[in-house]
Amino acid sequence: QVSSVKVSYSCLYPGVMKVSCSADGDNLRFNWTSDLNTRSHLENRISTLILDNVTCSVENHVSRDHNTTELHPCESAVS
């Protein structure tokens, strides 16, 4: 049985995020889905990828479960 699905994330450095998923159970299969929005900032010609929610879905031969987490942006570097 799949249980205890957890999504965690950390900022490796400004603009780069590591997202991980863990769960309890045997022979687990993991799948990621996300709400991705691309916003273009024309004034400085930068295209920014905004992550809203990510969902980790986990399943095995017995059951399935999922966890959806809202990602908050990493802080920008101060120059």
The whole-model pTM stands at: 0.73
pLDDT of residue 19: 87
User: What are the boundaries of each domain within the chain?
Assistant: 3-70
In the numeric block, the tokens 């045997």 are attached to 26
**Cβ atoms of 54 and 71 closer than 8 Å:** yes
Residues 6+ apart with CB under 8 A from 43: none
pLDDT at 42: 45
| Structure-derived torsion over alpha carbons of residues 54, 65, 7, 32, reported in degrees to the nearest 10 | -40
DSSP one-letter string for 60-75: -SS-EEEEEEE--PPP
Q: Dump pLDDT digits (tens) for 3-14.
A: 999 999 888 877
CB-CB contact of 48 with 38 (8 Å): yes
pLDDT (tens digit, 9 = 90+) per residue, 55-79? 899 999 999 999 999 888 776 544 4
The pLDDT value recorded for residue 34 is 80
